[in-house]
Amino acid sequence: MQEKEKENEKTKTIEKEKNHIKKDKKVNKEIEDLKAQVAELTDRCARAQAEVINFKRRKEEETSLRLKYCNEDLLMKFVQVCDNFERAIKMDDNDLSDEVSKFLEGFKMMYTNMREILKSNEVVEIDCEGREFDATLMEAILVEHDKNKPSRVVIEVLQKGYMYKDKVLRPAMVKIND
C-alpha cells in the first residue's frame, strides 16, 4: 500500500508539474503577446510623433515662405508704377517750359525714391542687355538677325525684369539675336 501511495503521490506531483508547465507556457505566451503589443504601440507612437514633427516643419516652412514673399503682389504693382515714371522722365526737358521742367524734375526725384524703396525690399533689376538669353529670367518678344553679334544674345531690353529676393518678380521682355 505504501507503494501505491507513493505512486499516487508521484502521479499527483507529475500532474501538478504538468499543470505548472501549462500555466508557465500560457503565461509566457501572454507575456510574448504583451511584448508584441507594446512594440507595436511604441512603433505607432514613434510614427505619430514623427508625423507631427514633419507636419510642424512643413507648416513652418510654408509660413516662412509666405512671410518671405508677402509683399510680392504689392511690389509687382510698384514696379509697374516705376515703369511709368521711367517713361515720363525719359522725355527731353531741354525744350520744355520752365514749369514743365520742374514737374519733370519732381518725377525724377519720386522715381529715385521709388527705386530706393524697391532696393530696400530686395527687388533688383535683372541685368540682361548684351548677355546670353536665359529663359528663366527673360521672355524673348522679338528676334532680330545681326551677323556682327553672337546668337541668343540680348540686343535690347523692351521692358525691365526684376528679381524679388531669390525669385523672379517679373521676367525681362527682350529682343534677341538669332
Of 99, 162, 98, 151, which is closest to residue 126 (Cα–Cα)?
162
State the Cα–Cα distance between residues 88 and 107, nearest whole angstrom: 8
pLDDT at residue 1 in the model: 59
pTM: 0.64
Report DSSP letters for the chain, one per residue. Answer: -HHHHHHHHHHHHHHHHHHHHHHHHHHHHHHHHHHHHHHHHHHHHHHHHHHHHHHHHHHHHHHHHHHHTTTHHHHHHHHHHHHHHHHHHTS--SSS-HHHHHHHHHHHHHHHHHHHHHHHTTEEE---TTSBP-TTTEEEEEEE--TTS-TTBEEEEEE--EEETTEEEEPEEEEEE-
* Residue spans of the chain under pLDDT 70: 1, 92-97
Determine the residue type at 70: C
In whole angstroms, give the CA distance from residue 178 to residue 143.
Answer: 6
pLDDT of residue 96: 64
How does strand 123-125 pair with strand 162-164?
A: antiparallel
Beta-strand pair 154-159/172-177: antiparallel
pLDDT in tens, 111-157: 999 999 999 999 999 999 999 999 999 999 999 988 888 999 999 99
